[in-house]
A = this chain, B = another copy of it.
Amino acid sequence: MIQEKIAKANEEAIERVLNAQPTLLAIGKAEKDIPGMTKKTVLHAGPPITWENMSGPLKGAVIGGLIYEGLARDEKEAVELAKSGEIIFDSCHHHSAVGPMAGVVTASMPVWVLENKTFGNKSYCTLNEGLGKVLRYGAYSQEVIDRLKWMENVLAPVLKVALELSGPIDLKTMIAQVVQMGDEGHNRNKAGTSLLIRELAPYIVKTQFTLDEKSEVLKFMHSNDHFFLNLTMPACKCTMDPAGGIKYSTLVYTMARNGTEFGIRVSGLGDRWFTAPAEIIDGLYFPGYTTKDANPDIGDSCITETTGIGGFAMAAAIPIVQFVGGTPKDALNYTTQMYEITLSENNAYKVPALNFRGTPTGIDIQKVLETGILPIINTGIAHKNPGVGQVGAGLVHPPQKCFEDALEAFVEDIEKTN
């Protein structure tokens, strides 16, 4: 009886995921476009967290965000302000947004605006800053702030007009293509970045900005193979949101980390987070760094795995093993294993090396606990101190406790209802 209800609810949930039509609409501004944003709101990746409990890179990004907004002049002022209670900290996920790594979003930041055309819900994400010392890894030096200002004043305005000229871009089709081109949409976005550039370049050219500005914009995108990550993430976010809140569904519609805790949300359990301490990542470290330097797992980027790409599509992105470790065979095995904990195979994202089988899509907490198989996540590794940046990339799992607690709550809910 209950199992039937669960099966039916999960069918409904996965149908919504598979029928999603994530579409890039426009460039907006956080304060104006993201629901509930104020001048003193700071959104961050992962489940909600207080300033005191934030990890190094998240604290660094908050400091940078407050300086960028002109709310603080330096680190000292920013820390005081952050502690003062004047700042509203909240999870990106509570505002239809997602952010890689620290995931900090403040009022003036430009954001990609997406819509799931099937259900009409929107999603938002900042623009990718590139590699090296960047806010999302907790850096907040002058060069970081200057780059964010350039993104606000040049990059975003150029892309905004280019998008107005091009019209909306169907991201489901684009992601389906990049999965044929060696990307998994989380830690490898070289094809996606390339497709986005070729799609927008004819319209960037046509804008009335100076030739130098337009050239800088194209060079900036070209210099950063992760530029497309900040589009796969909100594409997955607006894909998953309509699958939340379906009574009896055991589908995981959110996985996210704030650098301290890993949190999941389950469709039938609504907005409740189930959290546990985030894990240290097993991966390849850049020269000079070891696991001792690593911050625990951080960022909203595992929304990609929640939607059946990222680590779940590793078999489509074999070259990723050169970045996160392992062999091509491992890449095939990871994807194959994920079929055991998911509700369906993707109808759009297909793996060439697995005979064009759809990627494993829609994590079911029941299957995770029955099999003991935890979701696999491809991810970047942040230094534990603010301001240092990325120190490697690798593979990580969510803590099993998140799934155990969720199932326990699920059973309690059912008992209450009956």
Q: Which residues of A contact B (CB under 8 A)?
A: 177, 180-182, 190-191, 193-195, 197-199, 201-206, 211-212, 214-216, 218-219, 221-222, 318-319, 322, 327-329, 352-356
Residues of B within 8 A of A203 (CB): 215
* Chain B neighbourhood of A221, CB < 8 A: 198
A–B pairs, 16, beta carbons within 8 Å: A182-B182, A191-B191, A193-B198, A197-B198, A198-B198, A198-B201, A198-B222, A199-B222, A201-B205, A201-B218, A201-B222, A203-B215, A318-B353, A322-B356, A328-B354, A328-B356
B residues in contact with A201, CB < 8 Å: 197-198, 201, 204-205, 218, 222
Write out the residue numbers on chain B whose beta carbons fall within 8 Å of the beta carbon of A191.
Answer: 181-182, 191, 194
Question: CA of A354 to CA of B356 in the docked complex: distance in angstroms?
Answer: 17
List 7 additional A-B contacts (Cβ < 8 Å) besides A191-B191, A194-B195: A177-B190, A180-B182, A181-B191, A182-B182, A205-B211, A328-B356, A329-B355
Interface of A is mostly: helix
Contact status of A206 and B198, CB under 8 A, knowing A181-B181, A181-B190, A191-B181: no
> In the complex, A322 Cα to B356 Cα: how many Å?
10
- Would A212 and B206 count as touching, CB distance under 8 A? yes
Q: Please, which residues of chain B bring their CB within 8 A of the CB of A319? A: 180, 352
Measured between C-beta atoms, what is the minimum distance from A206 to chain B in Å?
5
